Structure 1
């Protein structure tokens, strides 16, 4: 059978939102399988966006369907079971039941609600979370907590070392996009790993569901990173100070990706923080990092056609529109890449390196992975150049770590997030040592 590759771009740094009804896309995804099963391949081709349908002929779809039925047995039913936003792509996971087995598929949609990708995906039972060796549950306890701000109640987890007193505590702050309390991506749960690794060595932590996941309906108008992340981080730090037996002089905040970028801004609002940890944190503007990531993803596609170059040029031109620092005549709720102008103005006015340079009392630990294709060592170099002479700052580059802080043999954008891996124990040990060196 002819091999058909459908390129799906996953801009993992982005918080872009979709206006279409999730239920509608779920139904559309299930209907696609029914149409294929009825042999209506012309109708099935119409599900695809025009930019993709020209690459997938009616004959191709027929061959794909016949091959699936030959290998998996006669098709019986399809159910949409999961969804997530990756940049400006909406992914729906469909579990299709065939006579011989059940197979997962990933259907990708653009903002217009048109399909741009249809691929076989790992079955949910095939890729499972890998419990790290350092997660010794006999050494800590976990308790459900809530991070509260006016009108919001975010469920979270307090992880505390057993039989300990006067212990430090770390508040974990998400990267971009909606996220659960574990910052789950595929089978990976970096915040869960960090919490277990910290607690096993005597350091407590608080992690919580991100507001954009629970209250997504609030993010359709004017908002900034204040509503997205900062307000809840400040509330979580306040909550950390109320934990029994915690050392109130040893409260830390660890921000990952966008959370790390915002950590200096949060520290300025919360003087009771003893220190901040910036993990894979952009030093450049969000737009610069995003553009670098996009170019890398296009390079990984190894498609040198003029059509692909034209698509990249158009995407970069649109991305550069996000550099605005004032609204001017633009309305605050005008959207660029799904985010309001208010968001871009606020983020572009924030200079995280300059804010960090002004922090003198709170300690700062900056960590970066060399195999991170989302935030590169270029950002680490900028942090290092600006802060390495400050006595309250520690910086460390880990050549093997990726964006999820796990060890990788290469900087691979295609598969590493689909493979279960744990946050580096070396990194956890270094963070613990830094905290205890106070």
Structure 2
């Protein structure tokens, strides 16, 4: 691409600013590209602050946009969004979808909500995620929305089949840790794959940015999974009921890993949920699962040193200690293994399999045989707990890993560095299960 098109991230120094308005900047970023696609290059140019406006003229924007469209085809919309703080700037990363390819941009907004830097993110063909082949991109639309959950606002993507009426909708609930709306892990985006695959089969969905990714500073004190997961999942379900094309009586929760573990609790908080998909969901206590993972990782490391054995023993001891916590344990805001006492106490009081057994809703349990994080032990426990539940179904995929993608062996987390898509058979199974009459 010509030098004039190589737009760099302009470094600004000596300005003390604080980023404001996460959602205003996301909307501004969307509008900026909408102006480019409408041919309003002068209006798009007005989004820049003075320092950038002097360096990038409207003619340069025009040349950039026309060349992108020449290379990738017609602009079809925003296919993903991330946002984060860096120093005093609010960074918004938009993945733009064109007819034949995608291109990501990073925009840096200053305190005046002007674009202080724009960066064309490099593409890495050998290590980049691709839209799955089973996604019929002409059959659905995607729209960035905002979920309001108490005082928090969460960016989300609403994916809806075209010309749809009274369709079911799936809400995706993440696993442990901070996650973007696609649940991006390494070079994988399982929630995006699932959303596009299901939309191609007539099923709408909402995937949202997890609160702890945007507001990590607020996950403190005596925080629990209510703060981390439950409140926001309920907020998304409430939003889903207002989507015109969606049948509010056909709402499903797809919980992955920790999200699957908590999905039965979500259903108790919103009984209108029609069904749950529990994908790679722990049936045991989280501490028992973490202890097993630690032992497996230690064994794979082939560490024979006394130091390694001592660290493993100390970690297991701490996990066992957290199993004793309850709501009466002093100092609920004390942190153990990165989480408050209150968080552990909340999980200790929960028996997800017992909750699920009593639910009237349909349940589908999915498990991969090459999952080294949540294994067949948990799958068997779900089968045992729900064996008398007539509307519970089970699907086991011998060659799938924790991210629901095909791998040749169980392996370890290095497999997540390789781009892969959620297995088509699994997507088809979930769609068929949801669409059952």
Query: With structure 1 as the length reference, what TM-score do the two structures score?
Result: 0.70
**Counterpart mapping for 1:364-375 below 5 A:** 364-375=363-374
Cα distance change, pair 294–377 in 1 and its aligned pair in 2 (3 A):
same
SS of aligned partner of 2:147: strand
Q: Does 1:425 align with 2:424?
A: yes
**Which residue of structure 2 aligns with residue 317 of structure 1?**
317
SS of aligned partner of 1:220: coil
How big is the shift at 1:256? 0.5
CA offsets, 1:83-128, max 9 Å, x none? 9xxxxxxxxxxxxxxxxxxxxxxxxxxxxxxxxxxxxxxx967521
What runs of 5+ residues in structure 2 fail to find an aligned partner? Answer: 1-82, 85-122
CA distance in structure 2 between the partners assigned to 1:221 and 1:413 by the alignment: 33
SS of aligned partner of 1:397: strand
How big is the shift at 1:129? 0.9
Q: Does 1:296 align with 2:316?
A: no
**Counterpart mapping for 1:49-68 below 5 A:** none
Cα distance change, pair 143–221 in 1 and its aligned pair in 2 (3 A):
same
The 8 Å contact of residues 167 and 245 in structure 2, kept in 1 or not, is answered as yes
How big is the shift at 1:366? 0.7
CA offsets, 1:332-355, max 9 Å, x none? 111111211000000110110110
CA distance in structure 2 between the partners assigned to 1:125 and 1:413 by the alignment: 23
**Which residue of structure 2 aligns with residue 153 of structure 1?**
153
CA distance in structure 1 between the partners assigned to 2:130 and 2:316 by the alignment: 37
**Which residue of structure 2 aligns with residue 378 of structure 1?**
377
**Which residue of structure 1 aligns with residue 392 of structure 2?**
393
**Which residue of structure 2 aligns with residue 410 of structure 1?**
409
CA offsets, 1:221-276, max 9 Å, x none? 11100010000101111111111121222111100000000000000111111101
The 8 Å contact of residues 388 and 394 in structure 1, kept in 2 or not, is answered as no
The 8 Å contact of residues 174 and 259 in structure 1, kept in 2 or not, is answered as yes
CA distance in structure 2 between the partners assigned to 1:392 and 1:248 by the alignment: 20
The 8 Å contact of residues 325 and 341 in structure 2, kept in 1 or not, is answered as no
Mean CA deviation greater in 409-418 or 181-190: 409-418
Alignment RMSD (CA, Å):
1.8
SS of aligned partner of 1:137: coil
The 8 Å contact of residues 405 and 421 in structure 2, kept in 1 or not, is answered as yes
**Which residue of structure 2 aligns with residue 139 of structure 1?**
139
How big is the shift at 1:152? 0.4
CA offsets, 1:343-396, max 9 Å, x none? 000011011011011112x11111111111111110000000110221111111
CA distance in structure 2 between the partners assigned to 1:126 and 1:301 by the alignment: 27
CA distance in structure 1 between the partners assigned to 2:297 and 2:127 by the alignment: 24
CA offsets, 1:268-323, max 9 Å, x none? 11111110110110000000011111111111112223332222112211222221
Q: How many equivalent pairs are there?
A: 318
Q: Does 1:129 align with 2:133?
A: no
SS of aligned partner of 2:435: helix
**Counterpart mapping for 1:168-247 below 5 A:** 168-247=168-247
CA offsets, 1:129-184, max 9 Å, x none? 12210122111110011111121000000001112212111000011100000000
CA distance in structure 1 between the partners assigned to 2:311 and 2:235 by the alignment: 42
**Which residue of structure 2 aligns with residue 270 of structure 1?**
270
SS of aligned partner of 1:415: helix
**Counterpart mapping for 1:9-88 below 5 A:** none
SS of aligned partner of 1:437: coil
How big is the shift at 1:328? 4.1
CA distance in structure 2 between the partners assigned to 1:228 and 1:354 by the alignment: 22
The 8 Å contact of residues 130 and 187 in structure 1, kept in 2 or not, is answered as no
**Counterpart mapping for 1:108-119 below 5 A:** none
The 8 Å contact of residues 145 and 155 in structure 1, kept in 2 or not, is answered as yes
What runs of 5+ residues in structure 1 fail to find an aligned partner? Answer: 1-81, 84-122
Query: With structure 2 as the length reference, what TM-score do the two structures score?
Result: 0.71
CA distance in structure 2 between the partners assigned to 1:183 and 1:414 by the alignment: 15
The 8 Å contact of residues 167 and 250 in structure 2, kept in 1 or not, is answered as yes
**Which residue of structure 1 aligns with residue 76 of structure 2?**
none
How big is the shift at 1:187? 1.0
CA distance in structure 2 between the partners assigned to 1:324 and 1:157 by the alignment: 39
Cα distance change, pair 169–253 in 1 and its aligned pair in 2 (3 A):
same
CA distance in structure 2 between the partners assigned to 1:288 and 1:234 by the alignment: 28
CA offsets, 1:4-43, max 9 Å, x none? xxxxxxxxxxxxxxxxxxxxxxxxxxxxxxxxxxxxxxxx
